[in-house]
Structure 1
Amino acid sequence: MAILVAQEAPASSSVAVAHGPAGVGEARHRMRAQLSRSGVSDTVVEDAELVLSELLSNACRYARPLRRAGRGDADPDGGIRAAWSVDPAGGLTVEVTDGGGPTRPAPARPSLTARGGRGLTIISALAKDWGIRDSASGEVTVWAHLSAPDPAH
Structure 2
Amino acid sequence: MNQETAQVGHPLALAFRNFSVLLSCTPRGARLARLLTVAQLRAWGLPFETAQHVVAELAANAATHGRLPGRSFRLTLYVVGGTLRIEVTDARGERRPEPQAPGADAESGRGLVLVEALADRWGVTEERFPRKTVWAEVPVQAPEHGFAGSGGAGG
The residue number in structure 2 matching 1:74 is: 70
Q: Name the SS for the 1:29 alignment partner.
A: helix
Query: Counterpart of 1:116 in structure 2: which amino acid?
Result: S
Q: CA RMSD in A?
A: 2.3
User: In the TM superposition, what is the alpha-carbon distance from 1:102 to its structure 2 partner?
Assistant: 4.8
Shift of 1:40: 0.5
Q: Which moved more, 1:20-29 or 1:46-55?
A: 20-29
Amino acid of the residue matched to residue 29 of structure 2? G
Distance (whole Å) between structure 1 residues aligned to residue 37 and residue 17 of structure 2: 10
Which structure has more relative contact order (CA 8 Å, sep 6+)? It is: 1
Query: Cα–Cα, structure 1 residues 103 and 36, in superposed 2: closer, same or farther, change >3 Å?
Result: same
Percent identity at matched positions?
Answer: 35
Determine if the alignment matches structure 1 residue 121 to structure 2 residue 113. Answer: yes
- More deviation in 105-114 or 56-65? 56-65
Structure 1 residue identity aligned to 2:75: A
One-letter identity of the residue aligned with 1:36:
R
TM-score, scaled relative to structure 1: 0.78
Q: Is the 8 A contact 1:8 1:38 kept in 2?
A: no
Q: Measure how far apart 1:138 and its partner are.
A: 1.5
Give ranges in structure 1 of 5+ residues lacking alignment.
66-72
- Does 2:76 correspond to 1:83? yes
Alignment-derived partner of residue 68 in structure 1: none
Q: Which has the higher strand share?
A: 2
Q: CA deviation at 1:148?
A: 3.0
Q: What's the TM-score, normalizing by structure 2?
A: 0.77
Q: Secondary structure at the match of 2:98?
A: coil
Show the 5 A alignment for 1:1-153.
8-9=13-14, 10-41=16-47, 45-65=48-68, 74-75=70-71, 79-88=72-81, 90-100=82-92, 102-148=94-140
Where does residue 69 of structure 1 map in the other structure?
A: none
